[in-house]
Amino acid sequence: MHPALLICGAALCGAGAGAASIPFVNRCLIKLEKNKLSPRACAVFICLPALLWAVTFAVLGWSANAILLGLAAAALFSLSWIDWCTYEIPFGYNVFIFALGVLALAFDLPHWYEYVIGFFAISLPLLLLFYLSKGAAIGGGDVKLMAACGMLLGWKLVLLGFVLGCIIGSVVHLVRMKASGEKHVLAMGPYLSIGVFLSALFGNAVISWYLSMLGF
């Protein structure tokens, strides 16, 4: 398939996935006593997933992994919007991403252990932090999100995604507080989602480059 046709087709699929997510997002917002998506926000929910799918297929090409990541990207965007507005990550999104991870494992059975380790690699330390801080340092939804993403990406990429998400979140949070002069509650979901998506696309190349710098 011609690359341009592939990217255009991916964008259309992404737009469809984004449009399909709007009723679920509205349902979650109403349940958490927030306003439904405005018409402008609905347009964003169609256009941004289209862009995410186009980028995914441009980088990964036509593959099962690209389809799984495209679906995950739409879910990550939706849960990020909800988390930003409500500081809650609906459990159903984590279940959906976990299910995509199970499919990814099924497509790569010889390396099943990487996905299983990925499920625990970040989530277990975060779970310990959650209990030690009584939920003040990290939210339960973030713990579940990293477990689901670990199952989807494997331990190497989820570790990188978590580090990227923390760096991006720290920088943006400091800029927000500096600009407004006020403290803000940090919703980690959007930043972790960005880190996970970037790691899924470019993580293997970044890890290979880093190891080569170390002489491995």
What pLDDT, in 10s, does the model give residues 42-63? 999 999 999 999 999 999 988 8
pLDDT at 110 over 90: yes
Give pairs for 38-45: CB < 8 Å, separation 24+. 41/81, 45/18, 45/19, 45/21, 45/77, 45/78, 45/81
Each domain of the chain, given as residue ranges in start order, spans: 3-213
pLDDT at 75: 96
Can you tell me the distance from the alpha carbon of 149 to that of 101, in angstroms, rounded to the nearest whole number?
A: 7
DSSP H helical segments within 32-111, as ranges?
Answer: 39-60, 64-86, 91-107
pLDDT at 173: 84
pLDDT at 182: 61
**What is the per-residue DSSP string for 133-193?**
TTTSSS-HHHHHHHHHHHHHH-HHHHHHHHHHHHHHHHHHHHHHHHHHSS-----HHHHHH
What pLDDT, in 10s, does the model give residues 115-167? 999 999 999 999 999 999 888 888 899 999 999 999 999 999 999 999 999 99
Enter the tokens of residue 47: 């256009």
pLDDT at 136: 81
What pLDDT, in 10s, does the model give residues 65-102? 999 999 999 999 999 999 999 999 999 999 999 999 99
pLDDT at 212: 84
pLDDT at 26 over 90: yes
pLDDT at 215 over 80: no
Contacting residues for 209 by C-beta, under 8 A, at least 6 apart: none
